[in-house]
Chains A and B, each alone.
Chain A
Amino acid sequence: MSFRRAPFFAFILAIAVALSAAFANDKPSIPPQSRDNPLKELISGYHFGALETRAMQDDEFDNPGFPAVQQGQKLWSIVEGEQQKSCATCHADASQAMRGAGATFPKFSPTLNRVISLEQRINACREEKMAAAPWPVESPDLIAMTAYVRNQSRGLAVNVAIDGPSRPTFELGRKEFEMKIGQLNMACADCHNTRYGQKLRGETLSQGHSNGFPAYSLSNKSMQSLHSRLRQCNALVRAEPRAVGSDEYVALELYLGWRGEGLPVETPGVRE
């Protein structure tokens, strides 16, 4: 072989290496579980983050969301309310009792006769079983306990029920996702169904999944509930945000759960 050909081979090699690098860098996706899903591939928000953000999420010591999980763990066995109970009194070990539970919310509550979020389930427990005051909406304790319970499902697939008594709520959530709102007249679907991966200013649009929530927000420098994130999104299109815990947001959360069904729970996710 003549060395004169070396540049040619180097060139071919460069293309091969670049191609393999490109494929190695492809965002892992899973197929949607329902044919009705508007997405043809499901990609967790994790994969839209920078390498450092992903590394941060993966490392329990670096993940800035873990202090909230640890706070939740502490709260788990604190006795409160007239019944002199803690979560641990009834549920004992969260790692066993709560494994998988967080992946199924929002969920229909037969006692409350409506679909409720995990936050609302936790507060219902406090009121009904512990006779303790519910934690205020968006309070650090409520977010911490939600993060702790969801964290027990880390790695398990999101799996919500949308049929039977949950159906009307699911349909409301779908409507909420597809409705154009605000002065900018945009729907969640406009950006997150077909335009993910494209750039909105310096940010890459994700598919808008809920599997990392409550998540640590690097821009807010704090833990963020899913509903708080939805409010931020609504404000971006100059729409009046809904209240945290509103029926519409719980419905949207159910729809998002279904839309991302099969993705692993990542709580606490780290998002930019």
Chain B
Amino acid sequence: MTRNRPLTLLLSLAMLSATASVATAQLVCKPKTNGYFKLVMAAPAAAIKLDGLETPLTTALGDPVRGVQIAAAADKGNCLTCHKIPQLGDEPDHGDLGPTLDGAGLRYTEAQLRQMIVNPSAFFPDTIMPSYHNATGLSRVAAPFDGKTILTAQEVEDVVAFLKTLR
């Protein structure tokens, strides 16, 4: 009996902290259209049949170090708005509209990663992720961005080089 007392105490403490954390946590409502990428995320890499973009957008090789900065910058890739990227360090305020990018370099080939940045809806028809290298077919683009792509061709290659390192 005495042997168990510390354990009971510990469990009670755990119980209290669990209650506290649940009480303060934001309730997560059920997303209804994200099933598709979750399916793909759970599939073994070999089973993913997605046509990649084989040809790089630039002749210069992508630079993963620059890619990190572009991915993190709010006025560039701004990836953390929707994705968790553990490799960018402790970032509690990342979004969760998209999946974690951890392991992206394992799940996808370079060509697929490129396609994912250039035309994500080619992979995920119901994604809301924008194309990062397209300036046509858009409406009411604000003047400073009109006619421009979110990332330049080189910036896309840099981000792809960074994503390849996420293993």
Most buried by B among A11, A196, A199: A199
Is there an interface contact between A201 and B80, defined as CB atoms closer than 8 Å? yes
Is there an interface contact between A197 and B29, defined as CB atoms closer than 8 Å? yes
Tier of interface size on chain A: 35 or more
Is there an interface contact between A14 and B14, defined as CB atoms closer than 8 Å? yes
Are A13 and B150 also in contact (CB < 8 A) when A191-B128, A202-B93 are? no
Is there an interface contact between A190 and B28, defined as CB atoms closer than 8 Å? no
Is there an interface contact between A235 and B142, defined as CB atoms closer than 8 Å? yes
Is there an interface contact between A27 and B97, defined as CB atoms closer than 8 Å? no
Q: Which residue of A lies closest to B80 (CB)?
A: A201
Q: Does B66 contact A (CB under 8 A)?
A: no
Are A7 and B94 also in contact (CB < 8 A) when A21-B22, A240-B142 are? no
* B-contacting residues, A198-218, CB 8 Å: 198-202, 204-205
B155 CB to nearest chain A CB (Å): 14
Interface contact tally, CB-CB below 8 A:
131
Q: Does A194 contact B (CB under 8 A)?
A: yes
Is there an interface contact between B142 and A10, defined as CB atoms closer than 8 Å? no
Q: Does A184 contact B (CB under 8 A)?
A: yes
Are A201 and B93 also in contact (CB < 8 A) when A184-B130, A194-B33, A195-B31 are? yes
Q: Does A55 contact B (CB under 8 A)?
A: no
**Residues in A whose Cβ lies below 8 Å from that of B140:** 181-182, 234, 239-240
Q: Mark B120-144, 1 if CB is under 8 A from A, else 0.
A: 0000000010110001001111110
Q: How far is the CA of A116 from the CA of B28 in the complex (A)?
A: 36
Q: How far is the CA of A182 from the CA of B148 in the complex (A)?
A: 11
Q: Does A4 contact B (CB under 8 A)?
A: yes
Question: CB within 8 A of A180: which of B25, B32, B94, B139?
Answer: B139
**Residues in B whose Cβ lies below 8 Å from that of A2:** 1
Are A11 and B96 also in contact (CB < 8 A) when A4-B4, A239-B140 are? no
A50 CB to nearest chain B CB (Å): 9
Q: Does A112 contact B (CB under 8 A)?
A: no
B62 CB to nearest chain A CB (Å): 22
**Residues in B whose Cβ lies below 8 Å from that of A97:** none
Is there an interface contact between B95 and A198, defined as CB atoms closer than 8 Å? yes
Is there an interface contact between B26 and A186, defined as CB atoms closer than 8 Å? no
Question: CB within 8 A of B94: which of A4, A14, A22, A201?
Answer: A201
12 other contacts beyond A182-B142, A201-B94, A238-B145, with CB at 8 A cut-off? A10-B12, A10-B15, A14-B11, A14-B18, A26-B27, A180-B139, A182-B141, A183-B130, A183-B142, A197-B30, A198-B28, A198-B97
| 6 closest cross-chain pairs (CB), A and B | A197-B29, A14-B15, A202-B93, A10-B11, A183-B145, A190-B128
